[in-house]
Structure 1
Amino acid sequence: MTWQHALKDYQMYLKIERGLSKNTIESYSLDIEKLISYLDSNNIAIGPLKLTSESVQQFIYHISKELNARSRARIISGLRSFFNYLVFEDYRQDNPLDLIESPKIGRKLPDTLSEEDINTIIEAIDLSKPEGERNRAMLETLYSCGLRVSELTNLKISDLFFDEGFIKVTGKGDKQRFVPIVKSTQKYIQIYIDQVRCHLSIPKEFEDTVFLNRRGKQLTRAMIFTIIRQLVEKIGLKKIVSPHTFRHSFATHLLENGADLRAIQLMLGHESITTTEIYMHVDRSQLTKAIETYHPRK
């Protein structure tokens, strides 16, 4: 079995069996392609079924010169998953990553913005331009609904249930969830749809997509990043801000204001409460407040 054959089979497994998104599959594939590139550049002619722990260890040592511990841990995890698949399919008897330890890394706390920062960013949008109404509606939706950037770009008009106060979100692995949407955000989306979007020439395949570019096509993830980066530069905010920062801020601000962790988990679309629990580490004062408010011996 060649590397390309194994990689193609693995990608199909991730898509069909595990239901992972295109972006996640690309991320997994990139880890394997880095290993393939290393083997090729060093004239190591070993296929995926014969690769040894020693060869993998040499690769890890090679990338350690240019990658930090967190990046190395991610690559090791990706490779371990790939070889676990080969073992599962009976292509191999063992996983060459079994004896390789991931570097110890601390738990990374998410970057967040204050409510004032978010207000300042949104207020910096130039509403005199047609795309201004769109950008305001997008950022309000990112923040008030805690969406991933891919969930925002894929949002459909048929997913908007404003009368009920919800939107339907399609998340990782095409899993769907309903997320509450506040009246003010509904208003900004409706303004964009009624006053800007209606004047676009929209190709048939994008007629149901909410947020569109000037050519009437779906916005890319990169464009959302660019819009946010330009606004952050405009207000002189000395922070690295991405669409995911709005999602982190959504969760953190809800927790700070007393929202239940389980409710936050459902709104974010986290499969495990453990993933959501990282927000408990952002503001430990919430733990003290919980004891003081709810413990019978307070």
Structure 2
Amino acid sequence: MPNRGRPAGSSGPAPVLRSEEINRVLRLVKSRPRFSARAEVAFHLSFYLGLRAKEIASLRWSDVFDEGAKLREVLHLKAAYTKGSKKRDVFVSSAKLQKALAKFAQSYPDGRKPDAPLFRSQKGGHMNAASMARFLKQLYVEAGIPKASSHSGRRTFITNLAERGIDLKAISILAGHSNIRTTAMYVDNNPVRLARILKDVSW
């Protein structure tokens, strides 16, 4: 059965990105002739905050910047943005994400109204979840990682936290999972993580 709303090549679990692949995507987005700042921010929100395509596409200017165009330290995701319609706070702690957002703000079009979409569609409105998923998918295709999808940043975010020894409960809260068992599936079923664990085992 086709997976509606997801680009071709995005079926099945999204692969976790290796460090080399992450750097390849970042080099690509910075060299893009069009939508470079938008691409960089969208990727960073996926990779550093673990946001879903719908959550990224739903963001408004006032969710990310205050009245003085200063970057907020915490993004309050509204229920309408999230899977399961549950509010969630995410923390803009990454220096790289902060830098990317500051750069994006400088290139943002005029008319920074509070309800203005952070990511505009070609018609000037909000990008929807499917269009954001296609946008991120295209970045991976251009970077030579065709099997990756818009969910790869999120899966990489969760896996990296687990590999750093962060407890599953904390990861579950940061990822916006309603059930810790969902988080455990991301972590336990990841073959890259399991291979790394065995590589470090010596007895």
Task: Indicate whether the TM-score tops 0.5.
Answer: yes
Which residue of structure 2 lines up, in the alignment, with residue 119 of structure 1? 23
Deviation at 1:146, TM superposition (A): 0.2
Does residue 1:217 correspond to 2:93, yes or no? Answer: no
Change in 2 beyond 3 A, CA 1:233/1:109: closer
Aligned residue pairs, count:
183
Indicate the RMSD between aligned Cα atoms, in angstroms.
Answer: 3.2
Secondary structure class of the residue paired with 2:89: strand
Change in 2 beyond 3 A, CA 1:128/1:118: closer
Which residue of structure 2 lines up, in the alignment, with residue 105 of structure 1? none
Deviation at 1:232, TM superposition (A): 2.5
Secondary structure class of the residue paired with 2:35: helix
In structure 1, what is the Cα distance between the partners aligned to 2:151 and 2:72?
A: 26
Runs of 4+ off more than 4 Å: 161-164, 285-289
In structure 2, what is the Cα distance between the partners aligned to 1:149 and 1:261?
A: 23
AA at the equivalent of 2:189: H
AA at the equivalent of 2:119: F
Aligned with 2:194 (options 284, 293, 296):
284
Q: Deviations over 1:28-71 (max 9, x none)?
A: xxxxxxxxxxxxxxxxxxxxxxxxxxxxxxxxxxxxxxx59xx9
Aligned residues of 2:134 and 2:150 also touching (Cα < 8 A): no
Deviation at 1:284, TM superposition (A): 3.2
Secondary structure class of the residue paired with 2:118: coil
Which residue of structure 1 lines up, in the alignment, with residue 6 of structure 2? none
In structure 2, what is the Cα distance between the partners aligned to 1:286 and 1:167?
A: 33
Aligned with 1:140 (options 35, 44, 51):
44
Change in 2 beyond 3 A, CA 1:247/1:124: same
After TM superposition, list the pairs within 5 Å mapping 1:146-157 onto structure 2. 146-157=50-61
In structure 2, what is the Cα distance between the partners aligned to 1:213 and 1:164?
A: 23
Deviation at 1:243, TM superposition (A): 1.0
Change in 2 beyond 3 A, CA 1:172/1:109: closer
Which residue of structure 1 lines up, in the alignment, with residue 77 of structure 2? 169
Aligned with 2:104 (options 168, 171, 192):
192
Q: Deviations over 1:83-132 (max 9, x none)?
A: xxxxxxxxxxxxxxxxxxxxxxxxx7652111221221121125564511
Provide structure 1 residue ranges, at least 5 long, that are not aligned to the other structure. Answer: 1-66, 72-107, 293-298
Structure with bigger RCO (C-alpha 8 Å, 6+ apart): 2
AA at the equivalent of 2:131: M
Between 1:245-254 and 1:183-192, the stretch displaced more is 183-192
Which residue of structure 2 lines up, in the alignment, with residue 83 of structure 1? none
Which residue of structure 1 lines up, in the alignment, with residue 170 of structure 2? 263
Deviation at 1:163, TM superposition (A): 6.6
Provide structure 2 residue ranges, at least 5 long, that are not aligned to the other structure. Answer: 4-11
Deviation at 1:176, TM superposition (A): 0.9
Higher share of residues assigned helix: 1
